[in-house]
């Protein structure tokens, strides 16, 4: 059940996408997300979809693995689509009693659904192909200019990398705790909403205690290694752009231009 | 009344790149009332194996039977099964959550839907069985020592009155005194209640003194399944898979090599003492 959440997980394999510089991947993902909000018609979405499919193909991550993560947001997706479908004013397409579905609503609902699915797939592709350490290194580098205006960039990226690093650990822990409580007859999957919420207490209490304990240990270990923040810190593996990265950036640029031209300017 | 595993295979992360076999063609029969030691190196599949026995993990192929019923049948009541096959996990921290020990032990029987009186009676009984002091009953389980936490965890499962009790590394992280206490406690439970006990461990010493049957796991397969004496006579093979016989067994081998007339299939300190005294003619 918990293994279904793929958002933020890293999938270990070898591919062109895995080997790209994390900065390129972050820029690429952001451009992709922005492009999703800029395109106005279905041609734009087709281009975005093609781009995404090619990226997934290149990444060697099994599509099944990526879409398993979709289950977790299925509910959210449905709500968004239903609201858009019924609450958009315009030409009524079908109507019964007080409810009506408009042509505009239908279009908007589909657009929203596709946009959300693409958005999540795109961003999970980034985390699936980039180790948390690389990801935060890249982010830190990209945010460097903000240091000028006194944003604690290093601290933020450190916090992020710790948070990301702990996701799999805490997931595994949750799995173990769940099993331990299930062995004592706990039931997490049936009953009314109230009962289910109550049944989470035996799961959450040990989980929080363990999270605090781990945080304490980590703080101690950092202290023992004289960690004192980012000033003057060097890296064992500094990020360097390679030829592939330049190509990658060029492709991303090409994609964004394509998207804008076909999805916004040429066809309205 | 027994647990039977019939050609059980289990594969982790099936259909991803990380797929790995955790259990390979495991067939076992665990009759009533036996005290069994389950031994294996880290990652040998022992934890996965025990989770099959109470239905927490479903085999990729093969069947698990409890009292002649397939536990993975659609209409099999897993909750009832888990009350009968009690599983105590390695870290008590993973299951303790209530504000006091007594309430925590009540969790298991309450999940069985028993009336409040029966629940409390069982919790009291279980805590007494594990030799828990009355003074600590209403203390927070998080303030206890490692050994006491483990007792509460075991009581939490005992309160469901299982017919089979499985303990995953119950002595991990305890000092020698705490180890012995817990092992004696388990042995007493076996003697007084007559329940089947499966003790998972990677310490030969822990197991040799108490159990009547040893199952050795290696890379997901059952490597040996016999009496301790028999298993430890294969100490060379055991070493190859990263395990070892108890130290007294080695000691007796050396004595034999040095010319003393002693038996070499000795597994416990007590036996060794008698044998050495005999060899010395006292």
- B212-237 pLDDT tens trace: 999 999 988 999 898 888 888 888 88
Residue B166 has pLDDT above 50, yes or no: yes
Write the CA distances from A123 to A42, A69, B120, B272, integer angstroms.
21, 11, 51, 65
Supply angle C-alpha B265, B202, B11, rounded to 5.
120
Cβ-Cβ contacts under 8 Å, B51 against chain A = 179
pLDDT at position B17 is: 61
Nearest CA to A126 out of A116, A114, A139 is that of A139
CA–CA gap between residue B56 and residue A180 (Å, rounded): 9
Q: How far is A180 from chain B (nearest CA, A)?
A: 6
Contact at CB, A12 and B17, closer than 8 angstroms: yes
SS3 content of chain B, % helix, strand, coil (to 5): 40, 25, 35
Chain A residue with the nearest C-alpha to that of B12: A3
- pLDDT (tens digit per residue) in B182-192: 899 999 989 99
Q: How many CB pairs under 8 A join A and B?
A: 69
**Residues of A whose CB is below 8 A from B156:** 184
DSSP state of A4: G
Give B63-75 pLDDT, tens digit per residue: 999 988 888 888 8
CB within 8 Å: A179 and B93: no
Q: For residues A185 and B119, what is the distance between their CA atoms, to the nearest angstrom?
A: 13
Mean pLDDT value across residues B97-124: 92
Interface touch A12/B156, C-beta < 8 Å:
no
Nearest chain B Cα to A209, which residue?
B93
Q: What are phi and psi of B70, to 5 degrees?
A: -70, 115
pLDDT at residue A31, as a whole number:
93
Supply the pLDDT for residue A1.
45
Q: What is the ipTM of this complex?
A: 0.86
- Residues facing residue B21 across a β-bridge: B11
Q: Is B236 left (phi over 0), alpha (psi -120 to 50) or beta?
A: alpha
Taking an 8 Å cut-off on Cβ atoms, the answer to whether B93 and A12 are in contact is no
Tokens of A149: 């205006």
Q: 């890293």: which residue's tokens?
A: A10
**Residues of B contacting chain A (CB within 8 angstroms):** 15-18, 51, 54, 56, 79, 82-83, 86-89, 91, 93-97, 107-108, 111-112, 142, 156-157, 160
Over chain B, what is the mean pLDDT? 88
Helix spans in B164-246 (H):
176-193, 204-208, 228-232, 235-240
Closest-CA distance, B109 to chain A, in angstroms, reads 8
Cα(A232)–Cα(B247) distance, integer angstroms: 54
Asked if B86's CB is within 8 angstroms of A183's CB, the reply is yes
pLDDT higher than 90, residue B116:
yes
Say which of B87, B94, B111 has its CB closest to residue A177: B94
Residue B248 has pLDDT above 60, yes or no: yes
| Predicted local distance difference test score (pLDDT) of residue A24 | 94
Of A57-61, B17-21, B57-61, B157-161, the one with minimum mean pLDDT is: B17-21
* Cβ B25 vs Cβ B221: under 8 Å: yes
Contact yes or no for B18 and A12 at CB 8 A? yes
Task: Give the tens place of pLDDT for each residue, A26-82.
Answer: 999 999 999 988 888 888 888 899 999 999 999 888 888 787 777 777 888 888 888
Q: CA of A244, closest CA in chain B: separation in Å?
A: 25
Query: What is the nearest CA distance from B113 to chain A, expressed in angstroms?
Result: 10
Confidence at residue A166, expressed as pLDDT on a 0 to 100 scale: 86
Residue B1, pLDDT above cutoff 80? no
Mean pLDDT of B265-279: 85
Distance from CA of B20 to the nearest CA of A (A): 14
Dump pLDDT digits (tens) for B192-216.
988 999 999 877 777 888 889 999 9
* Mode of pairing for the β-strands spanning B164-168 and B61-66: unpaired
DSSP state, residue B1: -
Bridge partners of residue B10, in order along the sequence: B23
* Closest residue on chain B to A200 (Cα): B97
Q: What is the pLDDT along chain A (268 residues), one digit of tens a residue?
A: 455 555 567 888 888 889 899 999 999 999 999 998 888 888 888 889 999 999 999 988 888 878 777 777 788 888 888 888 887 777 777 777 767 777 788 888 888 888 889 998 898 889 889 888 888 889 888 988 888 898 888 888 888 888 878 888 888 899 999 999 999 988 887 778 888 888 888 999 999 999 999 999 999 999 999 888 777 778 888 888 889 899 999 999 999 998 888 877 776 5
The per-residue pLDDT for B42 is 83
Quote the pLDDT of residue B175: 86
B contact test, residue of A14, A184, A188, A217 with most B CBs within 10 A: A184
pLDDT at A247: 92
| C-alpha to C-alpha distance for B145 and A19, rounded to whole angstroms | 48
> What pLDDT score was predicted for residue A268?
59
Contacting residues of A for B54, CB less than 8 Å apart: 183
Over residues B82-99, the mean pLDDT reads 90
Q: Tell me the chain A residues in contact with residue B18 when contact means C-beta distances shorter than 8 Å.
A: 12
In this prediction, residue B76 carries a pLDDT of 85
């Amino acid at each position: 059940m918990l293994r279904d959440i793929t958002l933020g997980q890293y999938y270990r394999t070898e591919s062109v996408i895995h080997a790209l510089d994390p900065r390129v991947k972050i820029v690429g993902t952001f451009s992709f997300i922005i492009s999703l909000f800029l395109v106005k018609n279905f041609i734009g979405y087709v281009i975005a979809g093609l781009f995404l499919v090619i990226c997934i193909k290149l990444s060697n991550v099994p599509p099944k693995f990526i879409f398993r993560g979709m289950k977790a947001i299925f509910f959210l997706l449905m709500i968004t689509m239903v609201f858009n479908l019924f609450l958009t004013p315009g030409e009524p397409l079908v109507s019964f009693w007080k409810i009506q579905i408009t042509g505009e609503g239908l279009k908007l609902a589909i657009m929203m659904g596709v946009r959300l699915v693409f958005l999540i797939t795109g961003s999970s592709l980034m985390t699936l192909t980039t180790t948390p350490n690389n990801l935060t290194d890249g982010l830190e580098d990209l945010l460097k200019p903000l240091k000028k205006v006194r944003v604690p960039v290093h601290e933020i990226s450190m916090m992020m990398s710790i948070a990301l690093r702990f996701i799999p650990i805490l997931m595994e822990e949750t799995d173990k705790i769940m099993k331990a409580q299930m062995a004592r007859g706990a039931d997490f999957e049936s009953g009314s909403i109230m009962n289910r919420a109550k049944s989470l207490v035996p799961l959450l209490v040990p989980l929080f205690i363990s999270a605090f304990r781990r945080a304490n240990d980590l703080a101690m270990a950092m202290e023992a290694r004289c960690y004192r923040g980012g000033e003057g810190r060097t890296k064992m593996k500094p990020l360097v752009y390679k030829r592939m990265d330049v190509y990658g950036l060029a492709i991303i640029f090409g994609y964004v231009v394509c998207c804008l031209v076909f999805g916004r300017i040429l066809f309205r | 009344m027994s647990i039977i595993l019939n050609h059980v295979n289990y594969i982790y992360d099936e259909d991803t790149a990380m797929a790995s076999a955790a259990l390979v063609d495991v067939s076992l029969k665990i009759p009533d009332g036996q005290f069994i030691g389950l031994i294996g190196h880290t990652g040998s599949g022992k934890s996965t194996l025990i989770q099959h026995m109470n239905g927490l993990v479903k085999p990729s192929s093969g069947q698990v039977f409890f009292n002649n019923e397939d536990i993975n049948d659609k209409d099999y009541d897993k909750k009832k099964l888990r009350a009968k096959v009690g599983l105590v996990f390695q870290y008590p921290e993973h299951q303790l959550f209530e504000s006091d020990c007594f309430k925590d032990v009540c969790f298991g029987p309450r999940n069985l839907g028993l009336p409040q009186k029966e629940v409390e009676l069982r919790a009291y009984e279980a805590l007494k069985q594990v030799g828990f002091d009355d003074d600590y009953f209403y203390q927070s389980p998080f303030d206890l020592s490692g050994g006491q936490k483990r007792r509460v965890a075991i009581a939490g499962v005992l309160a469901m009155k299982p017919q089979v009790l499985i303990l995953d590394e119950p002595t991990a992280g305890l000092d020698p005194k705490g180890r012995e206490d817990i092992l004696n406690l388990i042995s007493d439970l076996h003697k007084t209640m007559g329940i089947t006990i499966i003790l998972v461990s990677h310490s030969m010493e822990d197991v040799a003194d108490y159990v009547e049957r040893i199952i050795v796991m290696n890379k997901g397969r059952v490597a040996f399944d016999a009496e301790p004496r028999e298993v430890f006579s294969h100490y060379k093979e055991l070493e190859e898979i990263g395990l070892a016989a108890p130290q007294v067994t080695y000691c007796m081998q050396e004595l034999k090599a040095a010319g003393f007339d002693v038996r070499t299939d000795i597994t416990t300190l007590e036996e060794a003492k008698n044998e050495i005294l005999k060899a010395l003619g006292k």
